[in-house]
Amino acid sequence: MILPNKHITVSQSLWGLAAFLLTFLDVPKTVDELWSKFEKINDSPKFPARQSFERVVLALDFLYLIDAIEITGDGKIKLCA
């Protein structure tokens, strides 16, 4: 369920979740801060699929692998320049 297809919507895929998480990283955040912010809209009209904490971590792993995010010295996640 990394990419959307005929039976998996974009919001259910890791790819879609990862793209959505990027919108929260306007300032560097810890994983807990990111999860708290995402959890408020999880499974709502703004993000219509229920995602677990584990899937959020997998999406962050994906973003790190493609060099979209990096980890700062104090353990926060920020967008790569």
- Note the pLDDT of residue 12: 87
**Span 9-18, pLDDT tens digits:** 888 899 999 9
CB 62 within 8 A of CB 2: yes
List the domain boundaries for the chain. Answer: 10-79
**Span 19-41, pLDDT tens digits:** 999 999 999 999 999 999 999 99
Residue 2, pLDDT > 80, answer: no
pTM (two decimals): 0.89
Fold of the 10-79 domain: Arc Repressor Mutant, subunit A (1.10.10)
Residue 1, pLDDT > 70, answer: no
Residue 5, pLDDT > 80, answer: no
